[in-house]
């Protein structure tokens, strides 16, 4: 499919300030938000968008040089957050026990995820290459903070990619995402922070900076960094924009280029811009000798009408004939509030959202009375074997499709 059943509503009529002024400095996961600020996807589905550029992982698998593999993996890590571009709607908070699966034979992967904790909200996911060339998994705890004019989402949690063919594991964390002009003006998205992709077998790492946009928007959306060997020697540079494309070039060439660039402009940073910055030339300035490693798939023409969705996102709610009776009853596609919103029926969406959230509260209350503990179905808590951090590990049985013991959450 290439569109949703109904276009989005204008958010102009809602006084967002009247809702948000009580919450400055608070963590937003505990506050019930009106549905009009949402997009008709669950956060579990939003996470699945990491997989839009899965070809980069297949490419990593077929490359025998570890530095070349790191280029592909780093490009995949950046491409995974490219779907955030212009996505100012908030995904629905998943209910405890909610799940989402996606099989894309054309892209060569299958994915499943489960909401494994409610407070704090933690989403665990596990994906595998259909030809067994990779495993991709992680658990994400999006910490949202409201700063008066902006909302900042810090995606705590670890992401791991394994390439069995090379016995390699890579881990990284995502950059912070910030939505600006929550109250007045045009909403826009910035991502900033350091992302370090580590190859735990070779000790190589790719150290990337997602730059804050800076004064006059000069640095808007820019990403740059180096691939380093285990003695921290620069092997090559990577640069570009997470909204557009990434290039790689020899590290000395990159440093020389930066030096001459710097002479031409004095830099100022870390000031929050009032207006949405307009980048001067909107494409990446290509340094001679560079090689393109990733370019974003353009959004479809009707994207602005449909929550700035990519074609990939547009298909996430699709309920194909063969899926009925095969999907578990906890799958996001069966969530009534999201469905109503997608059809443009905001009143029903809002009523159903309240109802399922209330049901969740009641069943938690029931459990606390009976000293019964919540049991996650497809993941268990454990230690990430590669970086030893607390993580959620896949229990390896989702695709057997044994749905006994599943909770009734909708
Ligand atoms: C992974 O790479 C190896 C080595 O190039 C290759 O033999 C294998 O077919 C690849 N697997 C896939 C699914 O591409
Ligand atoms: C909570 O427990 C009551 C009484 O046992 C039951 O009727 C109700 O369905 C339960 N609610 C949920 C959401 O589990
Ligand atoms: C499904 O899972 C339940 C609970 O773990 C188990 O008792 C049952 O035997 C399983 N059914 C099948 C067909 O494997």
| 15 has pLDDT over 70 | no
Mean pLDDT, range 331-335, rounded to an integer: 96
Judge whether 62 lies within some domain. Answer: yes
Q: Judge whether residue 236 has pLDDT over 50.
A: yes
Share of the chain above pLDDT 70, in %: 89
The total domain count for the chain is: 1
In-domain check, residue 4: no
Higher per-residue pLDDT: 229 or 279? 229
pLDDT at 265: 60
Q: How far is the CA of 400 from the centre of ligand 3 (A)?
A: 10
Alpha carbon dihedral 386, 63, 111, 157, in 10-degree steps, equals 30
* E strand or H helix at 357: helix 346-370
- Would the CB of 390 count as within 6 Å of ligand 1? no
Counting atoms of ligand 1 from 1, which one is nearest the CA of 64?
Answer: 5
Domain-located, residue 97: yes
Ligand 2 pocket list (CB less than 6 A): 359, 362-363, 366
- In the predicted model, is pLDDT for residue 262 greater than 50? yes
**Residues with beta carbon inside 6 Å of ligand 3?**
402, 404-405
Per the CB < 8 A criterion, the answer to whether 337 and 330 are in contact is no
Q: H helices of 225-344, where?
A: 251-263, 311-314, 336-342
319 inside domain: no
User: Mean of the per-residue pLDDT values for the chain?
Assistant: 88
pLDDT grade for 32, boundaries at 50, 70 and 90: low
The residue with greater pLDDT, 189 or 78, is 78
> What is the rounded average pLDDT of the residues 58-71?
96
Ligand nearest to the CA of 402: 3
**Degrees to nearest 5, angle at CA 300 with 298 and 303:** 115
Closest CA to 125 of 52, 55, 49, 193: 49
Among 57-66, 281-290, 307-316, 324-333, the least confident range: 281-290
CB-CB contact of 218 with 265 (8 Å): yes
Which CATH number fits the domain that encloses residue 29? 2.40.160.120
Please report whether residue 349 resides in a domain: yes
User: Which residue's CA is minimally distant from atom 2 of ligand 2?
Assistant: 366
Task: Return the residue whose CA atom lies nearest to atom 2 of ligand 1.
Answer: 62
Mean pLDDT, residues 230-234: 96
Any bridge partners for residue 102, and if so which?
111
- Which tokens sit at 309? 């969705």
- Residue closest by Cα to atom 9 of ligand 1: 62
CA–CA gap between residue 311 and residue 285 (Å, rounded): 27
Of the candidates 179, 137, 180, the residue with the CA atom closest to the CA atom of residue 158: 137
Which of 1-5, 273-277, 340-344, 372-376 shows the lowest mean pLDDT across its residues? 273-277
CA distance 109 to 55: 10
**What is the whole-number distance in angstroms between the Cα of residue 15 and the centre of ligand 1?**
54
Name the DSSP letter for residue 132: S
Cα–Cα distance between 201 and 224 in angstroms, integer? 24
Count of Cβ atoms closer than 10 Å to residue 239 Cβ: 23
Q: Which ligand is nearest to the CA of 401?
A: 3
pLDDT value for 279:
47
Structure confidence at residue 268 (pLDDT): 45
Cα of 118 to ligand 2 centre, how many Å?
A: 19
Q: What is the CA radius of gyration of the chain?
A: 22
Band of residue 5 on the pLDDT scale cut at 50, 70, 90 = confident
Provide the pairing of β-strand 234-241 with 245-249.
antiparallel
Instruction: Name the pLDDT band for 275 (thresholds 50, 70, 90).
Output: low
H/E stretch holding 43 reads helix 43-48
Token representation of residue 92:
């629905």
Q: Are 247 and 239 in contact (CB under 8 A)?
A: yes
Spatial separation of the C-alpha atoms in residues 196 and 223, rounded to whole Å? 12
| CB-based contact 242:210 (threshold 8 Å) | yes
pLDDT at 22: 60
Q: Strand pairing of 176-180 and 99-104?
A: unpaired
Query: Which runs of consecutive H residues, i.e. helices, occur in 165-235?
Result: none
Which residues sit opposite 140 in a β-bridge?
123, 157
Please state, in angstroms and rounded to a whole number, the distance separating the CA atoms of residues 139 and 118: 13
Q: Work out whether the CA dihedral 40, 177, 302, 331 comes out positive or negative.
A: negative
Structural domain includes residue 359: yes
- Parent domain of 223: 23-264+282-298+334-399
Q: Which residue bears the tokens 């490219």?
A: 82
- The answer to the question of residue 409 being in a domain is no
Give the ranges where 191-282 is alpha helix by DSSP (H): 251-263
Whether residue 10 lies inside any domain: the answer is no
What are the DSSP calls for 206-244, one per residue?
EEEEE----GGGTTTTEEEEEEE-TT--EEEEEEEETTT
Q: Which atom of ligand 3 is nearest to the CA of 405?
A: 4
| Pairwise CA distance, residues 111 & 121, whole Å | 20
- Closest listed ligand to the CA of 395: 3
Q: What is the mean pLDDT of residues 106-119?
A: 96
**Any idea what DSSP says for residue 118?**
T
Residue of 377, 395, 399, 402 to test ligand 3 pocket, by largest number of atoms within 8 Å of CB: 402
């Amino acid at each position: 499919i290439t569109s949703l059943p109904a276009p989005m509503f204008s958010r102009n009529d809602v006084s967002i300030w009247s809702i948000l002024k009580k919450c400055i400095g608070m963590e937003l996961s505990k506050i019930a938000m009106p549905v009009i600020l949402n997009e008709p996807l669950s956060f579990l589905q939003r996470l699945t968008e990491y997989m839009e550029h899965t070809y980069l992982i297949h490419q990593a698998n077929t490359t025998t040089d570890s530095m070349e593999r790191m280029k592909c993996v780093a490009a995949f890590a950046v491409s995974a957050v490219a779907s955030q571009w212009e996505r100012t709607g908030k995904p629905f908070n998943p209910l405890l026990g909610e799940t989402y699966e996606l099989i894309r034979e054309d892209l060569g992967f299958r994915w499943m995820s489960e909401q494994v904790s409610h407070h704090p909200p933690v989403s665990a996911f596990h994906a595998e290459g259909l030809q067994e060339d990779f495993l991709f998994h992680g658990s994400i705890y999006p910490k949202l903070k409201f700063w008066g004019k902006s909302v900042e989402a810090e995606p705590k949690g670890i992401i791991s990619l394994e390439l069995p063919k090379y016995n390699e594991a890579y881990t990284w964390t995502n950059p912070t995402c910030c939505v600006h002009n929550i109250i007045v003006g045009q909403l826009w998205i910035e991502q900033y922070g350091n992302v370090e992709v580590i190859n735990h077998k070779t000790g190589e790492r790719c150290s990337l900076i997602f730059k804050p946009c800076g004064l006059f928007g000069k640095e808007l959306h820019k990403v740059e960094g180096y691939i380093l060997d285990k003695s921290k020697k620069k092997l090559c540079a990577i640069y570009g924009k997470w909204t557009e494309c990434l290039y790689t070039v020899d590290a000395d060439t990159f440093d020389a280029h930066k030096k001459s660039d710097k002479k031409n402009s004095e830099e100022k940073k870390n000031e929050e811009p009032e207006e949405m910055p307009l980048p001067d030339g909107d494409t990446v300035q290509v340094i001679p000798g560079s090689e393109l490693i990733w370019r974003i798939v353009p959004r479809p023409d009707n994207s602005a009408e449909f929550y700035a969705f990519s074609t990939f996102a547009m298909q996430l709610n699709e309920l194909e004939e063969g899926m009925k009776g095969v999907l578990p009853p906890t799958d996001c596609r069966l969530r009534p509030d999201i469905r109503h919103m997608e059809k443009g029926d905001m009143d029903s969406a809002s009523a159903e959202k309240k109802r399922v959230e209330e049901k969740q509260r009641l069943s938690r209350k029931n459990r606390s009375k009976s000293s019964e503990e919540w049991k996650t179905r497809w993941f268990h808590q454990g230690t990430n074997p590669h970086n030893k951090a607390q993580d959620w590990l896949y229990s390896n049985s989702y695709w057997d499709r044994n749905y006994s013991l599943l909770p009734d959450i909708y």
